[in-house]
Structure 1
Amino acid sequence: MATIKLYIKNMVCDRCKRVVAEELSNLGYTVLQVSLGEAEIATTGKEADLEEIRTVMRDNGFELLDDRKTKLIEQVKLAIIELVHQGEEAELQVNTSDYIAGKLGLDYNYLSNLFSSFEGITIEKYLILQRIERVKELLVYNELSLKEIAYKLGYSSVAHLSNQFKKVTGLTPSHFKQVKTEKRKTIDKVQE
């Protein structure tokens, strides 16, 4: 039994993982594991048809990645998304460069240069954009105070969060909370 690891762009949530697992099963593959951005399948007696998989993934809003550098970029994005949207407060206090380098097992400077050259923004800017999207989400839910949100997302103070929020959105968090007219983006579309 051979196994194949697939790298899939835009697979950024639990619902995405379920869709990918279902679609791969529907194609007749034994799904061994699905995590953010990755799926591992067994090919018992059936040769993997990557074009068939690519088409099904595309039909569901995903993209099958082939190139090593593109896979690394996607892994950096997924590490940041995991950290910001699913991480614990303690993880957000960790140095981001150490977190990403440790998660991918590669030199941060290499990853940073690669990311910037492919995406046109720095990893730090991408992290800020993801954090601001998470702040928007928490503001819309209206369950936490701004102070609690700042702590939860690893900001040094409410003022730091407010300044960064206004710089990115043009609104203060309290004004955003009042008007709620600026739509939130899906986390895979944050830099667009």
Structure 2
Amino acid sequence: MKLYIKNMVCNRCKMVVKTELEQLGFNPVSVQLGKVELLQETLSTTQSETIKEKLNKFGFELLTDKKKQLTEQIKTAIIELIHYQTEPLKSNLSDYLSKKLNTEYAYLSAVFSETEQSTIEKYFIQQKIEKVKELLTYGEHSLSEIAFQLNYSSVAHLSTQFKKVSGQTPSEYKAFQHTIRKTLDEI
């Protein structure tokens, strides 16, 4: 059985969810960002409620609505793409998501917009900007290296998008690194 879990966006999140499920007596076969596969084929209402309550204590949400599950799969695919893959995207985002989720992009877009009141593209850009902030904070790469790594056509394009989303230029952000970054689940 597959469980879809909102706000499970990092390796530490995966570890917490796996540990909590094991303590409850469930056997996670696979724990991935946003998704857990259990050995059990079905869950009783009581078991679902127990899991839901336990995960809520850690800021996670067990998703039962199909559209919310799909939206979480879209977010997870984007987070994996931006924050965990080392190779840049070789196709456009719509093709990538369609192939990854085996669903027409028009449907993905409609469901995402309905559940999030925003577009997939805006979410994608917000994730990219958070990655830029992370890389600027570490200070190990130049802006041109960051632009290349995140598949921007130019440093100017990255800078324009960064200012539009964050209200600061990359240079201003770097100079005032006390600016609080958002966690991935807050985007």
TM-score band by shorter chain is over 0.9
The residue aligned with 1:40 is 37
- After TM superposition, the runs of 4+ consecutive aligned structure 1 residues lying more than 6 A away are none
| TM-fit CA distance, 1:89 | 3.1
| TM-fit CA distance, 1:146 | 0.4
CA contact (8 A) 1:93 1:154 kept: no
CA contact (8 A) 1:89 1:154 kept: no
The residue aligned with 1:81 is 79
The residue aligned with 2:125 is 128
Work out the CA distance in 2 between the residues paired with 1:7 and 1:170.
34
Instruction: Spell out, residue by residue over 1:25-48, the C-alpha distance to the aligned partner (whole angstroms, 9 max, x if none).
Output: 00111221100111112239x967
SS at match of 1:144: coil
Unaligned runs of 5+ in 2: none
CA contact (8 A) 1:6 1:65 kept: yes
Work out the CA distance in 2 between the residues paired with 1:71 and 1:171.
34
1:61 aligns with 2:39: no
Instruction: Spell out, residue by residue over 1:5-56, the C-alpha distance to the aligned partner (whole angstroms, 9 max, x if none).
Output: 1111100111000001000000111221100111112239x96711100011
Instruction: Spell out, residue by residue over 1:52-101, the C-alpha distance to the aligned partner (whole angstroms, 9 max, x if none).
Output: 000111011100000111100100111111111112233x2420000011
Work out the CA distance in 2 between the residues paired with 1:75 and 1:30.
22
Aligned Cα RMSD in Å? Answer: 1.5
CA contact (8 A) 1:165 1:171 kept: yes
Q: Which amino acid aligns with 1:124?
A: E
Work out the CA distance in 2 between the residues paired with 1:141 and 1:88.
17
